[in-house]
Amino acid sequence: MRIRPDEASGVLHPQNLVRYAARWIDPDPAVRDVVDTYWHVRWQLDESEVVDQTIVDLPAVTLTVETGDVPAGLVVTGLHRRAWHRRIAGSGDVFAVRLRPAGLAVLGTLRPQDLADATVPLAAGVDDGLRTLLAGIAAASTPQDRARAADTLVADRLREHPPSDVHLLANAVLDELRSRAYRRTGTPLAEHFAVSERTIQRALSATLGIGPKQAARRIRLQEVARAIAVHGDDDLAGIAVQLGYADQAHLTSDFRASTGLTPGAYRRQLQRQSGNAL
């Protein structure tokens, strides 16, 4: 299924999703405790062209199998506090496994703190469990075949090492936060899950390395980027209200702190890229 430019993908120049034939691939339901989604991109740029792709990621760890003009073949990317950049040149493709909070602990030995603000090549000895998993996925040739190989390999790991109650709570909390992106009010998380605030904090810290407020912020920033890309910045006050910001100034400040751009500057970038700048 193609990733549409109007989706909350985190890619700040969503026209590239069409250019790179970006696709989601659904995981088998049997691995849903660990895998959020698979995605795939392929690119072929002119010899002199370089694209600096900016990404506001979800609070999730991502595993990638990469070929072509890429820094490394097997990679794990952790959570970034701010938008991060990927330099794209030449030709290549990426098959990715976006994990749910439980995923890293089930599949490997790295901790989320080891990956904070980092993209780590899986060299021998870094995390041999993740390296073996990705090598098995890389052995398949097509994106669909890689997805099915990932399903099988992850299911095997789940049988050996099922997620704990803490991991499953972290999954549920993140799902709830994603569902609340456009809700200004609701039952407090602790009350919703009938646990203490400290329990929720510990569950997310153990699996993602951040707390619920930071996770909610990342989800909200993705939605801000999507809203501006789709609707422009003419109604930032309305976007701010919908996403629970105190006012437009707080939205602008948060977006600039994460991306280095004001919403207006981001919109002008999108216009230039599409050839419609005034």
Could you tell me the domains of the chain? 15-160 (2.60.40), 165-274 (1.10.10.60)
pLDDT exceeds cutoff 90 at 273: no
Pairing between strand 91-99 and 23-25? unpaired
At residue 278 the predicted structure's pLDDT band, cuts being 50, 70 and 90, is very low
> How far apart (Å, rounded) are the C-alpha atoms in residues 273 and 12?
11
Q: What is the mean pLDDT of residues 202-223?
A: 95
Instruction: Compare 218 and 5 and report the one with higher pLDDT.
Output: 218
pLDDT one-digit tens code per residue, 148-162: 999 999 999 999 999
The span from the CA of 207 to the CA of 105, in Å, is: 7
Question: Whole-angstrom Cα distance, residue 252 to residue 109?
Answer: 38
Q: Is the pTM of this model over 0.75?
A: yes
Alpha helices in the chain, H assignment, sequence order:
15-19, 103-107, 128-138, 143-160, 165-179, 189-193, 197-208, 212-231, 236-242, 248-259, 263-274
Once rounded to an integer, what is the mean pLDDT over residues 255-267?
A: 91
Confidence at residue 264, expressed as pLDDT on a 0 to 100 scale: 86
Per-residue pLDDT at 69: 95
The mean of the pLDDT values for the chain is: 92
Mean pLDDT across 31-51: 94
Q: Mind giving me the DSSP string for 59-128?
A: S--EEEEEEES-S-SEEEE---SS-EEEEEESEEEEEEEEEPTTHHHHH-S--GGGGTT-EEE--TTT-H
Token pair recorded at residue 234: 């003419």
pLDDT tens digits for range 98-136:
999 999 999 999 999 999 999 999 999 999 999 999 999
Residue 196 clears pLDDT 50, i.e. is over it: yes
Give yes or no for residue 259 having a pLDDT over 50: yes
Query: Is the per-residue pLDDT at 25 higher than 70?
Result: yes
Q: How far apart are CA 10 and CA 56, in angstroms?
A: 5
Predicted confidence (pLDDT) at residue 193 exceeds the cutoff of 80: yes
The answer to which of 12-16, 43-47, 77-81, 161-165 has the lowest mean pLDDT is 12-16
Asked if 193 contacts 227 with a C-beta cutoff of 8 angstroms, the reply is no
User: Would you place residue 234 in the very low, low, confident or very high pLDDT band (cuts 50, 70, 90)?
Assistant: low
Q: Which two tokens stand for residue 24?
A: 């989601």
Q: Is a pLDDT exceeding 60 seen at residue 6?
A: yes
